[in-house]
Structure 1
Amino acid sequence: MYSVIAYQAAYANSVSQIFHEAIHAIDDECYSAENKAAWSAKPRSSYHWHKRLLHSKSWIVVDRNQIVEGKPKCCGFINLETTYHSRGYIDSLYVHPEHQGKGLARKLYEVLELWAREQGYSELSVDASLLSKGVFLSYGFKQHHRSYQEKLGQVIMGFLMSKPL
């Protein structure tokens, strides 16, 4: 049984692994091996992910039927920037490859959107990847233009998208 819960520090290492494994599971036709290696050469430290998620509003989805190290297994995560300049920006949405296609991204997104509405946010935005563009379109986002991020000499293409609330 999957549940969405607030991010907890005990899951920082799981989040790091999910990020890395989800990126490297993307088909090479979407992003080259070189793109993926630049995007995530290796899992980042738990410290990095804990700090990143602690400074935003973050949730994880866990499988309560799978216990790992005494806690439900983390299967995915999402986080939302809450500072004035980037308020409402979805920084990350990743689901472990073994759990993709089960509606977990939607579960995470619905919790985020509900929270944003309750806080009075007027809009959500995201730089969606080639893979997640369709997911965000299905959530009602509109594409504005292509976006490009340079990482370790690789240009990774995405799409700037937004949704009024």
Structure 2
Amino acid sequence: MYSVIPYRAAYAQSVSQLFHDAIHAIDEAQYSLADKSAWSAKPRSAYHWHRRMIRSKAWLVIDTRSMHDGLPVCSGFINIEMGFHSRGYIDSLYVHPEYQGKGVAKILYQALELWSREQGYKELSVDASRLSKPLFLSYGFNVNHRSYQEKLGQVIMGYLMSKSLG
């Protein structure tokens, strides 16, 4: 059924499309069409996503029951930054709309937290969207403060959250 695998270059285009599809599936009561279009106007190149993913530690959840372009379907992805200043920052957590509510985000988060603990990370942080805030609260994160990102002239509100691993 579902398997967690490390990110692979062969999935770069799938990750790009998944990100775009997940953004545009968000209910407009959460984020307006203008917000979503600024967040992801169109899928970015596979090259963009490949570079982003290899500069971090990233995992995919694949659905081994379904194939696309000769690969099991990527149903979600997560990545964490490892740089000195951004160490432990969760850069992305996205689940394809068809797989939302099926435990994919939990599988991804558990893989990330286990790896982070094994690496000796003391804290995790994330800029969570309105949509993902309850998910991160359920994993023991606390809200530090609201956060704002400007994308293509749209100000998109979220929450800077953190969790101690100590």
Smaller-chain TM-score range? over 0.9
Listed as ranges, the matches of 1:115-130 within 5 Å are: 115-130=115-130
Letter in 2 for 1:20: H
* Unaligned ranges ≥5, structure 1: none
How far is 1:71 from its partner? 1.5
SS in 1 for 2:48: helix
Aligned to 1:43: 43
Aligned to 1:59: 59
Kindly provide the CA deviation profile for residues 32-89 of structure 1, in whole angstroms up to 9, marking residues without a partner as x.
Answer: 0000000000000000000000000000000001122222110110000000010000
SS in 1 for 2:27: coil
Give 4+ residue runs of structure 1 displaced > 3 Å after superposition.
none
How far is 1:2 from its partner? 0.5
Aligned to 2:98: 98
Give, in whole Å, the separation in 2 of the partners of 1:63 and 1:57.
20
Letter in 2 for 1:49: W
Letter in 2 for 1:117: R
Aligned to 2:21: 21
SS in 2 for 1:113: helix
Give, in whole Å, the separation in 2 of the partners of 1:40 and 1:115.
29
Letter in 1 for 2:71: K
Give, in whole Å, the separation in 1 of the partners of 2:143 and 2:110.
19
Give, in whole Å, the separation in 2 of the partners of 1:137 and 1:87.
20
Letter in 2 for 1:104: V
Letter in 2 for 1:10: A
Aligned to 1:3: 3
Aligned to 2:133: 133
Considering only aligned residues, what root-mean-square deviation do their CA atoms show, in Å? Answer: 0.4
Aligned to 1:154: 154
Give, in whole Å, the separation in 2 of the partners of 1:19 and 1:68.
16
Q: How many residues align?
A: 165
How far is 1:4 from its partner? 0.7
SS in 2 for 1:29: coil
Give, in whole Å, the separation in 2 of the partners of 1:54 and 1:105.
20
Structure 1 length-normalised TM: 0.99
How far is 1:124 from its partner? 0.2
Structure 2 length-normalised TM: 0.99
SS in 2 for 1:41: coil
Aligned to 2:31: 31
SS in 2 for 1:110: helix
